[in-house]
Amino acid sequence: MILKELRIENTLGTATNCYIIGDEVKKEAMCIDPAGDCDRIIDMLEVLDMKLKYIYLTHCHADHIGALEELREKTGATFLIHRIESENLRNPEVNLTANLGINNVEIDADARVDDGDLLHIGNIEFKVLHTPGHTSGGTSLYSSEEKLVFTGDTLFKGTYGRTDLATRK
């Protein structure tokens, strides 16, 4: 497995962790939380010689979606999000796009995931875990084989993610 972390600044000057996970054998990759700077993400995929299979959002907040539309358009990757978050994604009060000076989201998910669904990147398997709190449809991705979990903002460094923001329609 290949794992790359990209710290991407948003319009507020704070950074969001964006991840690229790849299967070295099948040359498939997934991008988790493409916060912005689409060209940087694509450059990393080219360096890794990987084809982007999935774009996965752990939740709908604007600081995690800045490159979503452009990345999907340029790569043809399948955009995945939890069923609840697919609705929240279009609500500027919940997705916080106005706070970051981002235009409201116009993209629809290609597929919606639910708790317990399995995703495969080559031979790497991830289980979707519905982890509401930060948002009502927030998820984590867990790979038991790789002993790895991506929590989005369910967890912050040293604490849990904020739970005081609007979380649903």
Q: Per residue in 113-129, is it b (16+ CB within 10 Å) or e — as a string? A: beeebebebbebebebb
**8 Å CB contact between 61 and 96:** yes
pLDDT recorded at residue 158:
60
Q: Per residue in 40-65, is it b (16+ CB within 10 Å) or e — as a string? A: ebbebbeeeebebbbbbbbbbbbbbb
Q: Is the pLDDT of residue 159 over 70?
A: no
> Among residues of the chain, what percentage have pLDDT more than 90?
53
Compare 106 and 145 and report the one with higher pLDDT: 145
Q: Is the pLDDT of residue 163 over 80?
A: no
State both tokens at 46: 């080219």
Compare 116 and 11 and report the one with higher pLDDT: 116
Tell me how far CA of residue 65 lies from CA of 11, 19, 45, 77, 124, in angstroms.
Answer: 12, 13, 18, 14, 24
Which range among 32-36, 46-50, 86-90 shows the weakest confidence by mean pLDDT?
86-90
Reported as a single tens digit per residue, the pLDDT across 61-90 is 777 787 888 999 999 999 999 898 888 787
Domain boundaries, the chain: 2-160
State both tokens at 73: 């358009």
The architecture that CATH gives domain 2-160 is 4-Layer Sandwich (3.60)
| pLDDT band for position 169 (cuts 50, 70, 90) | very low
> Among residues of the chain, what percentage have pLDDT more than 70?
85
Where does residue 21 rank: exposed (0-12), middle (13-18), buried (19+ CB within 10 A)? buried
pTM: 0.87
pLDDT recorded at residue 11:
65
The CA angle 80-148-84, to the nearest 5 degrees, is 30
